[in-house]
Every structure is written in C-alpha cells, then in structure tokens.
Amino acid sequence: MLPQFLLPETTVREAGTGPDIGLGDQQGGVVILTLGITRIIEQESLDVSIWGSADGSEWGTKPVTSFPQKFYCGTYQLLVDLSKHPDVRKLRVKWGVNRWGKGDPKPLFTLYVFVQSVETQLAAMTA
C-alpha cells in the first residue's frame, strides 16, 4: 500500500537495514523514492540503497536501485521502474555510513526514505 515510509525519520550512527514493506498493487509499476537528510555533521558520507524481494526472506545480491553517495542535508528523488523487477513484492532500505577527519569518529545522520506511486505524485501535483 503506497504511499508510505520505507524508513521513518531516524537518526543513525552505523550501517543498518529498515523494515520491509509490501508494494501491493504497485508491484511491477513505477515508483518515486524520496530520500530526506535532515541532520548531518561535517566530513561524513551516506550510502542508501533499495532492495527488493519476492518473499521477504531472499533479498538478492544487488539492490534494485541506489541513491548517489550523499554528503549534505537535502531532499533527493529517484524514479524507479519496477517492471525490470517483476517478481519484487517487497522493498526495504539499507544504508552505510562513513566518517573521517577530526572529532568523534562515529557518523551521525537523521534521514527518512519515502516511497509513492507515480500516480499519487501526479494527482498531488494537479490538485
């Protein structure tokens, strides 16, 4: 059932994986993914990828898509054609973090990932 959060706004300090969500009637459709980064400290990077599964237990060896590596706060969107992955019924987000330089060696990000169908976005734009 879309739209919904793949990852609600969350503060992370290490790599992790979000919960899986079902695509419902958007299986094989086109979706828009929105990555929001609301908090970050200097000299760190964030890698966010989206993984797909047919059954919720096997997630494959490669992500469905990935955002380019991020270093700054902002809102970023990707258009994903799931017809290239017709067996995918569930999605989940994985993230990796890195920090370098002086100060606390632990990264710190606050981020969210939202997924919606293209139709939902178009309806919102024309309303």
**What average pLDDT does range 71-92 have in this prediction?**
96
Instruction: Extract the tokens encoding 6.
Output: 């793949």
Which amino acid is residue 37, in one-letter code?
I
| Domain range enclosing 102 | 4-126
* Selection from 8, 10, 19 nearest residue 90 by Cα: 19
Q: Residue for token digits 């990555």?
A: 35
* pLDDT at position 119 over 80: no
Q: What is the pLDDT of residues 84-103, one digit of tens each?
A: 999 999 999 999 999 998 88
Kind and range of the H or E run holding 109:
strand 109-117
Question: In whole angstroms, what is the distance from residue 6 CA to residue 113 CA?
Answer: 5
Number of domains in the chain: 1
Q: What is the pLDDT of residues 36-65, one digit of tens each?
A: 999 999 999 999 999 999 999 999 999 999
**What average pLDDT does range 64-79 have in this prediction?**
97
Length of the chain: 127
**3-class secondary-structure state, position 81:** strand
Which band of pLDDT confidence, cut at 50, 70 and 90, is reported for residue 127? low
**What average pLDDT does range 16-37 have in this prediction?**
95
pLDDT at residue number 101: 83
CATH code, 55: 2.60.120.1110
The rounded mean pLDDT for the chain is 92
Q: What pTM, to 2 d.p., does this model score? A: 0.90
